[in-house]
Each structure stands twice: as structure tokens, then as C-alpha cells.
Amino acid sequence: MTEGSAISATVTERIVAEFTRVAMRELSPGLHIVATPIGNLGDITLRALSVLAAADIIYCEDTRHSRTLISHFSLGSKLAAYHEHNAERERPRIVERLDAGERIALISDAGTPLISDPGYKLVRDVIAAGHAVYALPGACAAVAAMTVAGLPTDSFMFAGFLPAKSGQRQSRLKELIAVPATLVFYEAPTRIAEAIADMANVLGDRQCAITRELTKLHEEVMRGSLQELASALAGTTLRGEIAIVVAPPIAMAASDEDITSALAVALEAASTRDAVRLVAERLGAAKTRVYDLAMTLKREGPLQREDN
Ligand code: SAM
């Protein structure tokens, strides 16, 4: 190692020894789902390298794109395409190869296959045909985004890409209002401003992290409330690849008193039904809970706070 290098010769030797140990193992017949980096080639795992080197064939979305990765590590393995346009035709062929005892790897352009990428139906059919499916975990933009967002991770929902058209996007966001979890989205850079504006309007002013180009040279995280980020991005576009993390609904922490106060205001202007719907949506609370509190409010008046 040269002076100033971050790792010592001993560490390098250990890494090589571990790779050699991993690579010595006989690769089992079956389908190996292999995660690849989302930008930084250093994020490939030792197991990914050994499986890609040993596989009889590697299925990928785009052979030209994946050739870069394969060439970079001199894996020299055979690449074949499996993407949305040939999947119906290729699936039975892949199952036939597995019937013949082959060791097959599936990768996507980047990250973990099946996560907003092809592979689910293949895995389903391979399981139905009685073959083994092996996971080789690694990079995934959704998980990477959550680790740097600074938002709760105890419960999360990966919501993938939102529809490109605003009306459909807002409808989808309405379905997600009450989900009591952190939400993770993928988004195209050209649509980021409108998507964040729709989120601010529909989901309420929650905390959010826009992560861009994770693991790459221009890695960036923009943190703030949805309103703040919507204002900052208005009329602009970003470049690169983007994953968005949005905090759970405020109502996860909303007390009965918070809901009752909101109901008292809403009931002045709306019917019970509309007030319940509005407050439930706004605070992300279950409608039945809000309805019960509305009935109590009507029967007994506002909740009395206990002094202590
Ligand atoms: N299977 C991949 C995974 O495991 O993350 C995701 C594939 S999906 C077709 C591609 C989307 O993932 C991009 O449009 C972007 O939203 C997100 N993405 C991929 N790489 C990223 C990165 N380095 N930083 C932020 N988001 C990324």
C-alpha cells in the first residue's frame, strides 16, 4: 500500500483471502438474484462477484449496460437479456435451463432486481417449477435513501414510482395519506418539482429528504418540510437519480385532544361526515377513531385537559 492509503496491506490480504474462500464454494444450481451497485462499483459484494463469475448465464435488463460491470471485473460470463419486452418468451426458457441443472444469475441495470425492476414473475415461475432461488443482497436505492434521510425507519412503505400525470399522482398519494409509516418513492429528475408540490398538497407538511445520486460523485441530500422543498424546487429540475423519503403522518403522534380540537373547527363549517373525513385525512388518523371522537364531542363537548 502507498503512504496515506486508507487501508493497510493486511486488510487487502484479508479481503482477497475472504473472496478466495467465497469463490471456492461450488455454485448451486438454481436462480441467483444478485444485487449490483447503484453507482459506486466499490459497492459490489464478494458473493456477487463470485456468483457472476461462476454462473452459466447472467440475465440482465440491457446487455450493453451490464457489459460495463462485467468487463470492469473481468467476469467474462455470458450475458442474456431479460426485460419487459421479452420476459413472457424468455421465462419458460430460463425454467428449462434450470430443469437442465444450470446456475443462473439475474441482475438489473443497478441495485436489487425486482425492486422497481424486472424479476418478480420469473421468481414466481421458478418457485412453481420447484427450483431454488437464492438472494445475494446488496445495494438498493430505497434502503440507501432511508439510511441518510434522518427519518423514522421502524416502519416504512416502498411506494416505487408515482404516476407521471398529476391527476393520477394525486389520486395515488391520497391512497397513501393514512399509511402509518415512512414512505419511500423513486422519481424522475424532470418531475421532481411537481411531485414534491403534489406531496405537499396531498400529504400535508411532513418532513422529507430528497436523495440524489447516492454513492456517486455528486451525491446530495436535501432535507426539509415538503412545503419548504416544494418552494425551493418550484420551476426547477434536478439532474441524476432521485429517491424521496417522506415522514409518517403527523397523526401517528396526534392525541385525542389534537383530533378533537381539529374536529371542533371542522364541524363549524362542515357536516359530521365531511369533518371526520377531512380531519382523518389531514392528521392521517383512522376514520373510525375520528368518528368516535366526533360523537363524543357532540355528546359531551370539548375534552377537558387534566391539570397535573
Ligand atoms: N432496482 C433498483 C434499486 O434497487 O434501487 C432501482 C431501479 S429503478 C428502475 C431506478 C430508480 O432508482 C431511479 O430512477 C432512481 O429513482 C432510483 N435510484 C437508482 N440509483 C439511485 C441513486 N444512486 N441515488 C438515488 N436514487 C437512485
More confident residue, 274 or 301: 274
More confident residue, 236 or 29: 29
pLDDT tier at 307 (50, 70, 90 boundaries)? Answer: very low
Pocket test for ligand 1, best of 241, 244, 245 (most atoms within 8 A of CB): 241
Q: What is the pLDDT of residues 2-35, one digit of tens each?
A: 555 678 889 999 999 988 888 889 999 999 999 9
Q: Is 69 in the pocket of ligand 1 (CB under 6 A)?
A: no
Q: Is 112 in the pocket of ligand 1 (CB under 6 A)?
A: yes
CA–CA distance, 219 with 196 (Å, rounded to integer): 19
- The fraction of the chain above a pLDDT of 70, given in percent, is 95
Amino acid 239: pLDDT: 95
Q: What is the mean pLDDT of the chain?
A: 93
Amino acid 251: pLDDT: 55
Q: What is the pLDDT of residues 45-85, one digit of tens each?
A: 999 999 999 999 999 999 999 999 999 999 977 999 999 99
Q: How far apart are the first and last CA of the chain?
A: 65
Calculate how far, in angstroms, residue 65's C-alpha sits from the geometric centre of ligand 1.
15
Amino acid 308: pLDDT: 35
The residue-averaged pLDDT of 210-235 equals 97
The residue-averaged pLDDT of 222-234 equals 97
Amino acid 255: pLDDT: 83
Q: Is 90 in the pocket of ligand 1 (CB under 6 A)?
A: no
CA–CA distance, 149 with 157 (Å, rounded to integer): 14
Amino acid 4: pLDDT: 54
Grid cell locating 3? 503512504
- Of ligand 1's listed atoms, the one at least distance from the Cα of 115 is 1
Calculate how far, in angstroms, residue 241's C-alpha sits from the geometric centre of ligand 1.
6
| CA neighbours closer than 13 Å in the CB half-sphere of residue 298 | 14
- Cell 469463490 belongs to 23
Q: Is 115 in the pocket of ligand 1 (CB under 6 A)?
A: yes
Amino acid 253: pLDDT: 60
Q: Is 192 in the pocket of ligand 1 (CB under 6 A)?
A: no
CA–CA distance, 141 with 219 (Å, rounded to integer): 12
Calculate how far, in angstroms, residue 160's C-alpha sits from the geometric centre of ligand 1.
10
More confident residue, 7 or 117: 117
Amino acid 159: pLDDT: 98
Calculate how far, in angstroms, residue 90's C-alpha sits from the geometric centre of ligand 1.
25
More confident residue, 287 or 207: 207
